[in-house]
């Protein structure tokens, strides 16, 4: 069963953070309610997030999601990156989310926050790109600092 969310994109993608933040928090709550916790656990785990988010429906648009968590990642310039979100025009309806397993090997907190960050791209930026008629989307989190900053300028787009 897919994670299903719906939101008004004009509110969530508003360049004014004070306008976008409430819509983003609402979407985050929708997602959290649909991810089952491991029995006996009180926090979300990376495996639970990945398993629950293999199929996503955002505002009526369905995407199959492939996750990769174990290998090193780099951008097109060869620089190490923490995570990435990618869709390909040649494979509509499919998305690829990856976490740099080497950089997060001993940091489960960083792995989980990076996965949630990349999932955020899938939930907000990918549908917006598709609505604009774009056939591809790619963004990378270049470092853990990108996860702490707000706004589209916090990381490198490709």
Angle at 33 between CA 131 and CA 39, to 5 degrees: 135
Angle at 154 between CA 149 and CA 158, to 5 degrees: 155
pLDDT at 52: 96
Stretch (H or E) spanning 55: strand 55-58
Give the list of residues 6+ apart from residue 48 with CB closer than 8 angstroms, or none: 35, 36, 37, 38
Q: Between 71 and 16, where is the model more confident?
A: 71
Do 100 and 72 form a contact (C-beta atoms < 8 A)?
Answer: yes
Q: Where are the domains of the chain?
A: 3-157
Q: What is the pLDDT of residues 27-38, one digit of tens each?
A: 999 999 999 988
**SS3 category, 39:** coil
Give the count of beta carbons closer than 10 Å to the beta carbon of residue 69: 17
The first and second tokens of residue 25, run together, are 């928090």
Do 83 and 117 form a contact (C-beta atoms < 8 A)?
Answer: yes
Q: Identify the CA nearest to 147 among candidates 119, 113, 123, 120.
A: 113
Q: What is the pLDDT of residues 89-146, one digit of tens each?
A: 888 899 999 999 999 999 999 999 999 999 999 999 998 888 888 878 888 776 655 5
Give the count of beta carbons closer than 10 Å to the beta carbon of residue 52: 18
């Amino acid at each position: 069963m897919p994670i299903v969310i719906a939101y008004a994109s004009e509110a969530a993608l508003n360049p004014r953070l004070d306008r976008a933040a409430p819509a983003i928090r609402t979407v985050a709550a929708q997602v959290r309610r649909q991810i089952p916790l491991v029995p006996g656990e009180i926090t979300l785990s990376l495996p639970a997030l990945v398993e629950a988010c293999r199929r996503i429906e955002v505002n009526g648009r369905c995407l199959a999601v492939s996750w990769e968590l174990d290998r090193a990642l780099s951008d097109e310039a060869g620089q190490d990156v923490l995570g990435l979100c990618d869709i390909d025009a040649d494979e509509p309806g499919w998305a690829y989310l990856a976490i740099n397993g080497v950089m997060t090997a001993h940091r489960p907190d960083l792995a989980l926050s990076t996965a949630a960050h990349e999932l955020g791209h899938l939930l907000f930026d990918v549908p917006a790109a598709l609505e604009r008629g774009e056939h591809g989307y790619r963004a990378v989190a270049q470092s853990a600092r990108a996860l702490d900053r707000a706004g589209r300028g916090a990381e490198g787009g490709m």
